[in-house]
Amino acid sequence: AQRVTQPEKLLSVFKGAPVELKCNYSYSGSPELFWYVQYSRQRLQLLLRHISRESIKGFTADLNKGETSFHLKKPFAQEEDSAMYYCAQPPSGVLIFGQGTELSVKP
Amino acid sequence: DTGVSQDPRHKITKRGQNVTFRCDPISEHNRLYWYRQTLGQGPEFLTYFQNEAQLEKSRLLSDRFSAERPKGSFSTLEIQRTEQGDSAMYLCASSFVRGHTGYTFGSGTRLTVV
């Protein structure tokens, strides 16, 4: 079965520290990868897409086909970045999500 | 259009009862998806529609679950003879046919089976 793996359930950093949330995917045929974010008491929302190569709220993600990874990075974490982050891929046209990583940014 | 709407927000039901949830997608979106999310897990795909046609169902979707999207607009998800294991957040999302822009999610319906 196609899988998206997020190895860390919880990542805790201090404000201003760099952040890297890991994501590995198993289906190599699809170039489409996404990061979704869910802030406390809010709905799941799209953060960024590989295809658009954008930077949103200071976050970037680089596709590494050799390592089948799509890690999410931010050089300086802010307290408002605290949230659940989900990596997702549509191997058969439907998004498959990882288990999520909770990012906690402490003051 | 205020996005994807789901109703109700919360539902508590006794084991064995039937429940039905509704989702109103973004009107321009052709595709509508249902996911289930339990504590500590990412959303798990259940089924999706393109217009009124149900194109795919996950093996997670038992015979007690049925979804419809009459006229290609809103969708309903019905669970018959609910079990405690059905307790979860049920998420609806919609997108254009080509999903490069990603999905727009609703706030979800939290089901508790007692």
CB contact under 8 A, B41 and A99: yes
pLDDT digits (tens, 9 = 90+) for A81-105: 999 999 999 877 789 999 999 999 9
In 3D, which of A91, A99, A101, A100 has the Cα closest to residue A33? A91
Size of interface A-B (CB pairs under 8 A): 50
CB contact under 8 A, B91 and A44: yes
CB contact under 8 A, B40 and A46: no
Of the ranges A49-53, A62-66, B10-14, B37-41, the best mean pLDDT one: B10-14
Q: Which residues of B touch A89 (CB under 8 A)?
A: none
d(CA A95, CA A33) in angstroms, rounded, equals 9
